[in-house]
Structure 1
Amino acid sequence: MSGRSAQFSAFRQRMNDRILNHDNQVVRRFFALDTQTYKSGALDVRTKEMLGLVASLVLRCDDCISYHVAQCVEAGLSEDEFFEVFGVGLVVGGSIVIPHLRRAVDFLDELTAPPPAPAD
């Protein structure tokens, strides 16, 4: 992990720790609900993450998009599957989603780029 993906993960972890260390049951319960929602159930994790990615595209939340792109990579989505998910997000959200799609594909490319070859 490097660049944007490393910064995103580090920031997300640091802020989640900060937020969850505060004694607020509403916030803690909401975070727990979010975690539980994406666990395997009648729908598998891959499907739930694809749904999360579509919803994030439609809502135009770049942090959420990045998170769900990373989770979809972890769940093993192929590039073709990603582009089908992106297509659903575009159809539901309309052309206003295009800038967010660009950033999503850029983040996907970063996450799936082969590691640089070692220097000789």
Structure 2
Amino acid sequence: MMMDWTAYQQQLKANVGEIGKLSPETIRGYAGLSGAGQKTGHLDAKTRELIALGVAISLRCDGCIVTHTDAAIKQGATKEEIAEALGVAIAINAGAALVYSARVMDAYAALKPAG
């Protein structure tokens, strides 16, 4: 069954709002970190959101997915641009698995008794 992303987004905002009431400095710190990249001006907002989506799927963060999909749409990202950004993240994740597979082979060689 597909997730009700709109309801999830609303619940997430409410829950984060509750955290903000209980720990406002945590939310202020997060907001500062989140907004820091915007201040350099080297990447436009749409590019930052496309990167955020690649990271979101890599981290398997549903809250990040709904937040940054919404933001990417608002920044004018097309479905095709989002798909291309996701393709990059998929390839990098596959590449990381391949690199770590080499580590398994190294561990095997070190741990297997000779003979």
Question: How does the TM-score come out when normalised to structure 1?
Answer: 0.65
Structure 1 unaligned spans of 5+: 96-120
Deviation at 1:79, TM superposition (A): 1.7
Cα pair distance change 1:28/1:67, threshold 3 Å: closer
Cα pair distance change 1:70/1:24, threshold 3 Å: closer
Work out the CA distance in 2 between the residues paired with 1:17 and 1:39: 23
Deviation at 1:38, TM superposition (A): 5.6
SS across alignment from 2:22: coil
Q: Which has the higher helix share?
A: 2
How many aligned residue pairs are there?
Answer: 92
1:56-71 superposed matches below 5 A? 56-71=56-71
Deviation at 1:76, TM superposition (A): 1.2
- Asked if structure 1 preserves the Cα contact closer than 8 Å seen for 2:58 and 2:93, the reply is yes
User: What residue in structure 2 maps to residue 19 of structure 1?
Assistant: 19
Dislocated runs of 4+, deviation >3 Å: 37-40
Work out the CA distance in 2 between the residues paired with 1:90 and 1:34: 26
Identity %: 23
Structure 2 unaligned spans of 5+: 96-115
Cα pair distance change 1:34/1:7, threshold 3 Å: farther
User: What residue in structure 2 maps to residue 86 of structure 1?
Assistant: 86
Q: Whose Rg is larger?
A: 2
Work out the CA distance in 1 between the residues paired with 2:68 and 2:43: 16
**Higher-RCO chain (CA-CA 8 Å, sequence separation at least 6):** 1
- Asked if structure 2 preserves the Cα contact closer than 8 Å seen for 1:58 and 1:92, the reply is no
Question: How does the TM-score come out when normalised to structure 2?
Answer: 0.67
- Asked if structure 1 preserves the Cα contact closer than 8 Å seen for 2:49 and 2:71, the reply is yes
Work out the CA distance in 1 between the residues paired with 2:23 and 2:61: 27
